[in-house]
Amino acid sequence: MGCSSCSTGKGGQPRGCKNNGTCGTDGCNKLTVFDWLSNMALPSGQEVFDCVEVRFKNSRKEFFRKPSTITLSIGDIVATEAQSGHDVGIVTLVGELVKVQMKKKKVDYKDENLPKIYRKASQKDVDVWQASRDKEPEVQKRSRELAIRLQLAMKISDVEFQGDGSKATFYYTAEERVDFRQLIKDMARAFGIRIEMRQIGYRQEAARLGGIGSCGRELCCSTWLTDFRSVNTASARYQQLSLNPQKLAGQCGKLKCCLNYELDAYLDALKEFPSQDIRLKTKKGDAICQKVDIFKEMMWYAYEGEWANWYVLTTAQVKEIIELHKKKQTVASLEEYAIELSEDTKTSFENVVGQDSLTRFDRPKGKKRRNQNKKRHSNNKSKRPKNAK
C-alpha cells in the first residue's frame, strides 16, 4: 500500500483508508504512479499542466486535456471524450508528472487532437457507469457461449463497457487469426450495443486479470511492470536454474518476467569465471564442467567416463590449471585440488543463541506418561499381599 493509513489495525486486521482506491496517493491501484510532487508548490508564474492521466477498468490508462475552468485532483471521477458518446474514469495523476509519463509513453502533449475531459461525473453518470459494470460478468459468460457455439478457437478473457453503456470492448486471446464476423453480429443482436473486439497477448491477459504469483505477491505485470521484455531459457541457464516448465512459467503460460531481474548481476559475476566449455587436461584424463555455484565461486568437474564422481574446485584453482596447460604443463589429477578445497572450506557450527539442540522439540510425545504408567504398575505390585492371586 502506498499510504500510512493502509497499515495494520487492531488484532492484525488491515485498517484501510476506506477510500476504495481514491486516496490522494493513489497507492492501491494497478500500475499506479506515486505523486511525489503533490505537496510541492509550483514556482511563481508557472501554470499548472493542463493534461491528466485517467484510469479505466483494470490497467487501461489514457491521457486527456482538461478544461481550464475545472480543477481536478487524484480520485475524481470524470466524463471523458470517446469515439462516440462519453466514457467514465478515475483521475490517477495530475501535475508535472503527467508530462513525464506522456514522454515515457511517447504521447505528444502539444497535440491539439488529444482527447478532452468534458466535466466531473455527475451522479447520473456514475449510476449508468456502475450499472454497465455490473452487467459485464453476465455479458462475458454469454459471449463465451456464443463463441463456443460457433466453434471459434478463441478465449474471451475480459469485457469492458463504455461509461455511457453504449459500447463494449471484448478482449480475447487466440493462437491464430479468428474470423469473428458472425460472432459480432450475434453479440450485437443479443446485447443491443456496439461491439469492439480487441486481441491481446497472454502476458497482457494476465496483467488485466491479475492474480497471485508463486512468490506469494501480486503479479508484477498487474501492479507495476509496464514493459514486457522477451524472456528466453538462456536467462534460466545463466542463473543455474533447472529447466522445469512448471516452475519457470507464470500464470500467463510464458516464462516468468522475474527471470530477467537478476540476470545482469549473474552475467557480471560470470565474467570472472572461466568458460565452462574449457576442458581441464590432466594426466588422469580430461575433466568437463558439470555445475557452477556463482555465490561460492566454485565449479564441479567430472572425468570423462566417470560421470558419477564430481570434484569441487574454486575458480582460482581452475584458472591455475588452465594457465599451467597453456605453459604445456599438465597436472596429475584433480584429487589433490579437491582435497585441499575440502580442508579449506570446512565449516564449524557454533551455538550462538544459547540453545542446546535444534531437535529438542522432536522428542516423541507421551514418553513421560508411559514412564508414569510403569511406575504406577510397579507400585501396585509392591502393595499386593504375598498370598494374593
pLDDT of residue 342: 46
Give the span between the Cα atoms of 350 and 360, in whole angstroms.
16
Contact 35, 97 (CB under 8 A): yes
pLDDT of residue 228: 82
Burial of 40-51, coded b for 16+ CB within 10 Å and e otherwise, reads: eeeeeeeeebeb
Q: What percent of the chain has pLDDT over 90?
A: 39
Helices 136-149, 181-191: axis angle to 10 degrees equals 140
Give the span between the Cα atoms of 271 and 275, in whole angstroms.
9
Contact 62, 54 (CB under 8 A): yes
Q: Which residues pair with 3 in a beta bridge?
A: none
- DSSP tag of 331: B
325 residue type, one letter = H
Give the span between the Cα atoms of 186 and 374, in whole angstroms.
82
Beta strands 311-314 and 298-303: pairing type? antiparallel
Q: Could you tell me if residue 348 is left (phi over 0), alpha (psi between -120 and 50 degrees) or otherwise beta?
A: beta
pLDDT of residue 43: 83
Instruction: Return the residue matching grid coordinates 463497457.
Output: 161
Q: Which residues pair with 331 in a beta bridge?
A: 282
Q: Distances from the Cα of 160 to the Cαs of 137, 171, 198, 288, in angstroms?
A: 10, 8, 11, 57
pLDDT of residue 309: 87
Give the span between the Cα atoms of 138 and 159, in whole angstroms.
10
Question: What strands, in cross-sheet order, belong to the sheet with 280-281?
Answer: 280-281, 286-293, 298-303, 311-314
State the cell numbers at 171.
Answer: 478482449
State the cell numbers at 261.
Answer: 531481474
Give the span between the Cα atoms of 360 and 303, in whole angstroms.
43
Contact 171, 208 (CB under 8 A): yes
Give the span between the Cα atoms of 124 and 71, in whole angstroms.
20
pLDDT of residue 344: 47
Instruction: Return the residue matching grid coordinates 510397579.
Output: 378
Which ranges of the chain have pLDDT less than 50? 1-2, 4, 21-22, 341-345, 388-389
pLDDT of residue 52: 93
Give the span between the Cα atoms of 221 and 217, in whole angstroms.
11
Kindly tell me the burial class for residue 35, based on how many C-beta atoms sit within 10 Å of its own C-beta (0-12, 13-18, 19 or more): buried
pLDDT of residue 308: 86
DSSP 212-242: B-TTSSB-HHHHT--------HHHHHHTT--
| Nearest to 312, CA basis, from 285, 287, 348 | 287
Chain centroid to CA 128 = 34
pLDDT of residue 162: 94
